[in-house]
Amino acid sequence: MRQSKLFTKTRKEAPSDEVSKNAQLLIRAGFINKEMAGVYSMLPLGLKTHEKIKQIIREEMNAIGGQEILMSSLQPKEIWENTGRWDDELVDVWFKAELKAGGEVGFGWSHEEPIGEMMKNHIRSFKDLPVYVYQFQNKLRNELRAKSGIMRGREFGMKDSYSFCDGEEQHNKIYEDTIKAYERIFERFGIADRTFMTFAPGGAFTEFSHEFQTICDAGEDYIYLNKEKNIAINEEVMSEETLQKLGVKKEELKRVKTAEVGNIFNFGLQKAKDIGLFYKNEAGEKTPVWMGSYGIGTTRMMGVLAEVMSDNKGLVWPEEVSPFKIHLILLDGKDTTDARDEAERLYEDLLSRGADVLYDDREVSAGQKFADADLIGISNRFVISDKTLSAGQIEYYSRQKGTTKMITEQELIERYV
């Protein structure tokens, strides 16, 4: 991509009605466009980052046997009525619409009931289990107050996965595999050192669920944390009884503000009973399926990364989710075209090698190029100028480390292509 052809432009100021840091930075850098409160569109840079976030999750889900599907956002009223969750008193975030042909549909805020209904067509015997599926989908929730930028919106991207098992032992294997997969995902996102698996409310089905909470000033949760013992407890379940069960004292814990970036939930048998999802076990007995669900908000993750991986100049993306791996910047010479000729040659060579590169070929000042580069936050920056030509090397700047060094073209190709 030539930056001169990129239709989005950086902005000095964010919209006056946008108060969240993540949205301010992402709007100013040209990653997203605000459509209305709680609703954002992905622009080319934002879409590339979001797709890279999804791809990391996809790879780790596939590695533990997940199979990707894509379900409809439109959901029939009847399957939610069967579990009582069509009622607005029970679920207060529904978007609903009347069909012209008659009847009513909901816009998916979750897919637990629809996925269970679908599995009735595919699970009949213990030989059909386990099944582990996941999808990337936009969820629609009629939030009363949409705030926190893309960390909490009325429309947002999510990876939601569901397991269907022949008993608790089979379920526990998938549950533990998912924990490990999530840990690898957060390691690849560069937030493993500030993200903790947290004991959280279990709802109607179990005493505890598990959340993954990232330390973040813009978060909406508080957890009590002991890093040495690797124990984290959501404030909602903090009690003397919980402390005793986990073998920790309150004075050993530190209260920190966090953002939930993932969750895993054991439904046991009750969810399948509510849905009517049964199979025949080895003895030929009709048995409810053991279910679990596992979520990671993909746009939420993008917002959290913008919050915790940024500085006073702009965004600072980890390399694996940076919109481009390479930001090639041309500084035109005053009296010659040598630098431009060399930058053009290198850009074309990088493209021929399949490199992921944004080339700043614009005819603007060096100051503007560097300011825009800092704001956009691509992890690896390479500068070509008359100065670098005379040295026979390329200037490399690491956005994450804030360090500069001179490297050869061969080093660039070997390390970053």
Q: What is the DSSP string of 156-224?
A: EEEEEEEEEESSHHHHHHHHHHHHHHHHHHHHHTT-GGGEEEEEEE-TTT-SEEEEEEEE-TT-SEEEE
Q: Beta 67-68 vs 231-234: how paired, if at all?
A: unpaired
* CATH fold match for the domains 8-311 and 324-416: no
Residue 207 has pLDDT above 80, yes or no: no
- The H or E element containing residue 61 is helix 44-63
- pLDDT bracket for residue 202 (50, 70, 90): confident
Given the structure tokens 């996941």, which residue do they identify? 134
Per-residue confidence (pLDDT) for residue 154, from 0 to 100 = 94
- What's the average model confidence in pLDDT over 385-403? 95
- Domain 8-311: give its CATH architecture: 2-Layer Sandwich (3.30)
For the chain, the C-alpha Rg in angstroms (whole number) is: 25
- The amino acid that residue 84 corresponds to is G
Using the predicted structure, report yes or no on whether residue 203 has a pLDDT greater than 80.
no
User: Looking at the predicted structure, is the pLDDT value of residue 382 above 80?
Assistant: yes
- Residue 303's nearest CA partner among 317, 292, 290, 293 is 317
Over range 241-269, report the average pLDDT.
Answer: 94
Q: ∠156-237-134 over CA atoms, to 5°?
A: 35
Give the neighbor-by-neighbor strand order of the sheet with 95-98.
Answer: 74-76, 104-107, 95-98
SS3 285: coil
Domain range annotation of the chain: 8-311, 324-416
Q: Check residue 117 and give its pLDDT.
A: 96
Going by their DSSP bridges, the two strands 95-98 and 104-107 should be labelled as antiparallel
> What do you get for the CA distance between the two ends of the chain, in Å?
15
Write out pLDDT tens, residues 98-140: 999 999 999 999 999 999 999 999 999 999 999 999 999 999 9
- Residue 15: predicted pLDDT: 86
Position 145 scores a pLDDT of: 80
Give the tens place of pLDDT for each residue, 6-17.
999 999 998 888
Q: What is the pLDDT of residues 340-365, one digit of tens each?
A: 999 999 999 999 999 999 999 999 99
Residue 408 neighbours by CB under 8 Å, 6+ apart: 392, 393, 394
User: What pLDDT does residue 333 have?
Assistant: 73
For 324-416, CATH number out of 1.10.1200.10, 3.40.190.150, 3.40.50.800, 3.10.100.10 equals 3.40.50.800
Query: For residue 414, what pLDDT is reported?
Result: 96
Distance of CA 225 to the CA centre of its chain: 23
Handedness of CA 242, 231, 317, 189 (dihedral sign): negative
Instruction: Provide the mean pLDDT of the chain.
Output: 95
User: What would the two tokens of residue 136 be?
Assistant: 């990337």
pLDDT at 332: 85
pTM of the model: 0.95
Average pLDDT on 321-339 reads 90
Average pLDDT over residues 305-330: 97
Percentage of the chain surpassing pLDDT 90? 90
Amino acid 189: pLDDT: 97
**Are 141 and 109 within 8 A, CB to CB?**
yes
pLDDT of residue 205: 56
